[in-house]
Amino acid sequence: MSGRKKTLLKVIILGDSGVGKTSLMQQFVNNKFSHQYKATIGADFLTKDITLDNNKQVTLQIWDTAGQERFQSLGVAFYRGADCCVLCYDVTNEKSLNNLASWKDEFLVQSNVSNPQDFPFIIIGNKIDVDENKKIPSLQKKLANITNNQLGGLNYPVFETSAKDAINVEAAFEVVAKMALQQEELNDANGNDVSDDYNDAINIHLEGDSAGCGC
C-alpha cells in the first residue's frame, strides 16, 4: 500500500484569531515571515512535500483556518478527512490557551473522525520571540492543567515556536507529518477493509467501520 503513490496528508490548523496560524504555515511552507498578512477568511490552503526519516515522501495539504468563532460552522467543509489537527495558541494571550479545548471539541464534532479518542492532535504555542514579561504567567502550569483536565489527559505533543524567528516550526511540522501519516495509514487500512499488514502501531478500538466520510 505504501509507495504506491505520493501520500497526501491533510492537516488542519486551528486556534484563536491572531495567534499566528497563517504565519506558522507561511514559515513552514515558504520559509518567510511578514507583518502583512491579512486576516484569513474561511480557510487558506497550502501544500508542502517533505521526506520523513524512513525516506517516505509525503505531501502535506494544510488548511489554515480563520480564527473568528463566527466561521466555525464552516468546519464541515474543511475538516473532513483530516489526518492531523494542530491546535495553536499565543504564549502572550491566556484566552487563546484556554480556548484550546473548545477548538478540539469543535473539530471532533465537525470532522466526524473515526477515532476521536486517539485522533492525533498537536499543540503549538506561538510567539515565543516576544519579551518574557509579556508571556502568560506560569504558562507551563496552566498548560499542563489544560491538557490534563480539558484535553483528556492525553499526551499531545507540545511545541513552543516562533513563526517570526523560525524557531521550532520545522520540528513541529515534522511531528505533524509523522502523526498524520500514522492516522492516514490507519484510515487506509480500515477504509479499504483489507487485512492490513500493519501491526498495531496505534492502539485503538474502533466504534464502527465508517472511516472518514460522514457525509
Q: Which residues bind other proteins (CB under 8 A)?
A: 8, 17-18, 35-47, 59, 61, 66, 68, 70-71, 73-74, 77-78
Q: Are 13 and 84 within 8 A, CB to CB? A: no
DSSP 72: G
CA pair distance 2, 164, nearest whole angstrom: 36
The counts of H helices and E strands in the chain are 6, 6
> In angstroms, what is the minimal distance from the CB of 71 to other proteins?
7
> In angstroms, what is the minimal distance from the CB of 112 to other proteins?
15
Residue listed under C-alpha cell 464541515: 76
Q: Are 157 and 165 within 8 A, CB to CB? A: no
Nearer to other proteins, 69 or 207 (CB): 69
Q: Are 188 and 182 within 8 A, CB to CB? A: no
Phi, psi of 140 (to 5 degrees): -60, -40
Nearer to other proteins, 95 or 141 (CB): 95
> In angstroms, what is the minimal distance from the CB of 32 to other proteins?
15
C-alpha cell at 189: 487500512
> In angstroms, what is the minimal distance from the CB of 68 to other proteins?
5
Strands 121-126 and 57-65: unpaired
C-alpha cell at 89: 495558541
Nearer to other proteins, 148 or 214 (CB): 214
Nearer to other proteins, 58 or 66 (CB): 66
> In angstroms, what is the minimal distance from the CB of 17 to other proteins?
6
**Three-point CA angle 107, 170, 157, nearest 5°:** 45
Nearer to other proteins, 5 or 205 (CB): 5
Nearer to other proteins, 41 or 144 (CB): 41
> In angstroms, what is the minimal distance from the CB of 38 to other proteins?
5
